[in-house]
């Protein structure tokens, strides 16, 4: 029987996509249980079917009340601990320098616990790992964790296969989990108009809080409500443009070249997996990287990026991967 391994990745869609090479490699050697957000159940079907998913919304990953412990679901946390203890894990691993992850590993009862210690969280771990270069892509943390468990991970260029023929359509996704990472909708609208003037086909996808605005502009936008719906939208397109968010990582995992607008986060950490992925880095800020709040009245690092700054690179990116539609006279 394979040893039992608990893997923690409690944050976003993109973070789970980044963890994919580790999860695939681990499933060959271990019986893997992944503690993750509920949408991991859909990713499981498409990317790592041998992995068991335990859905869990960690209160410290929320954008509201995350620092107010009296709002935390303590009963659910207690139930989760009992469930994890019953699994009798041989090992547990987190690729984050997050003491809360490390405490969860300790409370799970896993006998061998791997992680990147911070703020004295070494006491919760049996194997403290050394983080790679500070500017290394986040997959490199999973690579270090994999090496500690005897799991070689493939090179980034070999993680996802290229798709076959696909419709010559640009998918522009204008949403993001964090409001700080959303480029103004009017800027995306201008990009869409410019691409269409050059005879490129464009499909807009957005978050639920944006759909009414797009439709008020006469745009036939779509609003994927699940990972499966987002995958269906990606399947009908050839290239992806969007904010630093999960949909871009998912598009890259499906073999689509991506162009990502980065504001408060570092593109070196999170540029999506694809040999043709490109990133536009926003304005310089002394406080980067930021997660869920901005020290200024607005996140100027992204909000102040103009269409004129982005357009030359974006036009070149789309032209490189697509041919404009031939318009019959």
Domain ranges of the chain: 4-155, 169-321
* Alpha-carbon dihedral sign for residues 228, 50, 107, 150: negative
43, 78, 128, 187, 200 from 309: Cα distances, Å: 35, 50, 43, 11, 20
Tell me what pLDDT residue 164 has.
64
Tell me what pLDDT residue 325 has.
57
Distance CA 157, CA 122 (A): 33
Q: Which residues contact 179 (CB under 8 A, 6 or more apart)?
A: none
Tell me what pLDDT residue 274 has.
82
Tell me what pLDDT residue 329 has.
38
Tell me what pLDDT residue 316 has.
95
CATH T-level fold of 169-321 = Rossmann fold (3.40.50)
Q: Is 4-155's fold the same as 169-321's?
A: yes
Tell me what pLDDT residue 6 has.
98
Could you tell me the pTM of the whole model?
A: 0.90
Low-confidence ranges of the chain (pLDDT < 50): 329
Tell me what pLDDT residue 94 has.
97
Phi/psi region, residue 172 (left: phi>0; alpha: psi -120 to 50; beta: rest), is beta
Whether domain 4-155 has CATH 3.40.50.2000: the reply is yes
Tell me what pLDDT residue 294 has.
86
Q: What is the pLDDT of residues 45-95, one digit of tens each?
A: 999 999 999 999 888 776 655 556 666 777 888 999 999 999 999 999 999
Distance CA 321, CA 66 (A): 42
């Amino acid at each position: 029987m394979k040893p039992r391994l608990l893997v923690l990745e409690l944050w976003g869609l993109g973070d789970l996509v980044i963890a994919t090479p580790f999860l695939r490699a681990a499933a060959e050697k271990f019986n893997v249980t992944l503690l993750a957000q509920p949408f991991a159940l859909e990713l499981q079907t498409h990317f790592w079917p041998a992995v068991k998913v335990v859905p869990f919304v960690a209160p410290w990953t929320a954008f509201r009340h995350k620092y107010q412990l009296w709002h935390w679901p303590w009963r659910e946390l207690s139930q989760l601990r009992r469930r994890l203890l019953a699994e009798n894990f041989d090992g547990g691993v987190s690729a984050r320098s997050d003491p809360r992850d490390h405490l969860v590993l300790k409370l799970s009862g896993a006998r061998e616990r791997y992680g990147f210690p911070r703020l004295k969280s070494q006491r919760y771990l049996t194997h403290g790992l050394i983080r790679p270069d500070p500017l290394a892509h986040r997959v490199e943390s999973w690579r270090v964790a994999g090496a500690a468990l005897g799991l070689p991970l493939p090179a980034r260029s070999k993680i996802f296969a290229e798709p076959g023929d696909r419709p010559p359509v640009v998918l522009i996704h204008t949403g993001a989990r964090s409001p700080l990472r959303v480029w103004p909708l009017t800027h995306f609208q201008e990009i869409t108009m410019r691409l269409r003037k050059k005879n490129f086909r464009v499909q807009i996808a957005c978050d639920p809080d944006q759909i009414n605005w797009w439709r008020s502009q006469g745009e036939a936008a779509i609003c994927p409500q699940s990972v499966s719906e987002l995958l269906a939208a990606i399947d009908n397109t050839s290239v992806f443009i969007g904010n630093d968010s999960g949909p871009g990582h998912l598009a890259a995992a499906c073999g689509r070249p991506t162009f990502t607008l980065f504001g408060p986060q570092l593109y070196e950490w999170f540029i999506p997996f694809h040999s043709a992925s490109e990133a536009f880095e926003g304005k310089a800020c002394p406080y980067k990287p930021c997660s869920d709040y901005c020290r200024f009245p607005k996140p100027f690092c992204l909000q102040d990026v103009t269409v004129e700054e982005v357009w030359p690179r974006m036009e070149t990116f789309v032209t490189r991967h697509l041919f404009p539609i031939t318009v019959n006279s």
